[in-house]
Amino acid sequence: DSRTRSDRVLRQVEAWQTQLHVLVDAYLQWRHSGVPQRDNTSPSWSMHTVTMSESRSESFIHASDAKYINETLVRNGYLGASPDQPTLAFNFNVCEVYRQLHRVCPHLGIDGFTRALNHLHKIPRQSHLADQFRCAYDCYLEMMYDIDCHVNMMIGRSLSTSLKTTLCPPCLHVTKQEPSLTYSVLVAMDGNNSLKLVDSMFRGGSPRKDERDALSLRWINPDEVDRFKDDVGRKPHPSGNNSNNNADPDWLRHVEDNTGASVVPDRLPVCIECWKNAGPESRKKMLALFLVSGIFLAVCRHGHVLAICDMIRSGEL
């Protein structure tokens, strides 16, 4: 057997994508008409289900025109934890509750949420429940994104229009006869080095294949960012006669004596040389073992994220 587990995520994603359009149609049918009437003459099968209030086994009747098991589950208000042969199904209410909780409290992870479900159901902790819910929740988000795209297309809202008006309506939506402001939008940008990704060259094993892209309109993919990778190098350099345009801050190159006059020391203090964070920006380098050194984002004055991207082998430019 030449199969490996390195591409199991990719194969799982491809399996979900094959039936995604069918699941979306079944979900809209369930939202519109509810659970279909049961045909007692057809054979039924049981599956363990998880709702917000209980965890129990429930019987389903496979629809005659359904191609996938998950299509039948979706028509009954559930989504399986696997694309092909699910043994557990989550109620859509569970997925939506976690979606809204995570929206207002990003610190709430899936592991903590599934532990809370175990407490609500009064059963011992099941560590595998988190992995099963991750698989179902990823598919649920894909379904919600596909539905949003269909809605935007039907109401004539393009991607560029969404970016201009929906990221932060108070900042970006312009009304008729609105007086112009000196600064129409106030934006703050900053990077953070906490979310690092170690390059696979420095880690053992094989990297997992995953060709998914971020679904958020706010996320800028690396190819789009690379269009501006040489802009910093092409910036015109100021003339050398201007003493205020040195790469190193003045307080790193000068110290004050007792009279307050600025003097240049013979040798810089050892703490300045060793303290990397106090050095000039031109000396700050990211370690080579990190493929992604962090994230960089821009927010408006209302705290809404306008754009976010990975810092790939770089710092804050």
pLDDT tens column, 77-88 = 999 999 999 999
Amino acid identity of residue 260, one-letter, is: G
Structure-model confidence comparison of residues 142 and 222, the more confident one: 142
Q: Which helix (H) or strand (E) holds 190?
A: strand 187-192
pTM of the model: 0.74
Q: For residue 277, count other CB atoms closer than 10 A to its CB.
A: 5
Instruction: Report CA dihedral (102, 103, 107, 111) to the nearest 10 degrees.
Output: 10
Say if CB 87 and CB 69 are below 8 A apart.
Answer: no
Of 61, 68, 65, nearest to 35 by C-alpha is: 61
Q: Which of 35-44, 201-210, 295-304 holds the top average pLDDT?
A: 295-304
- The highest-confidence range among 82-96, 173-187, 214-228, by mean pLDDT, is 82-96
List, for residues 101-147, the tens digit of each pLDDT value. 999 999 999 999 999 999 999 999 988 999 999 999 999 999 999 99
